[in-house]
């Protein structure tokens, strides 16, 4: 069963996808549906997860200076 879906997309993107659809003899709806299916069928691997890719980028460094700045601000602002 087909269901109508309204979406909001930037005008430039709409114009480009309409040209693409016409060039490839497809409807915009069919392209959107195919992309949704591709997203839903794609099983995220650990390497695709941002948290897994980003792991280790931020090394545990000394954040003493940041902690000191925060403590100083809180002390001055709230007399803590």
pLDDT values of the chain reduced to their tens digit, one per residue, 80 residues: 999 999 999 999 999 999 999 999 999 999 999 988 888 887 655 555 666 666 666 555 555 677 777 778 777 777 75
Q: How many CA atoms lie within 13 A of 76 on its CB side?
A: 6
Task: Print the domain residue range for 18.
Answer: 12-55
Q: How many residues does the chain have?
A: 80
Q: How far apart are CA 76 and CA 69, in angstroms?
A: 11
Residue 68, in any domain of the structure? no
What is the total count of domains within the chain? 1
Residue 5, in any domain of the structure? no
Residue 46, in any domain of the structure? yes
* Six-digit token string for 29: 């709806």
Residue 26, in any domain of the structure? yes
Alpha carbon dihedral 47, 51, 52, 57, in 10-degree steps, equals 120
Residue 44, in any domain of the structure? yes
pTM score above 0.85: no
Residue 40, in any domain of the structure? yes
């Amino acid at each position: 069963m087909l269901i109508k879906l309204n979406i909001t997309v930037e005008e430039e993107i709409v114009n480009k996808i309409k040209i693409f659809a016409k060039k490839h003899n497809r409807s915009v709806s069919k392209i959107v549906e195919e992309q949704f299916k591709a997203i839903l069928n794609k099983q995220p691997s650990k390497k695709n997860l941002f948290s897994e890719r980003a792991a280790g980028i931020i090394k545990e460094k000394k954040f003493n200076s940041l902690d000191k700045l925060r403590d100083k601000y809180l002390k001055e602002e709230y007399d803590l």
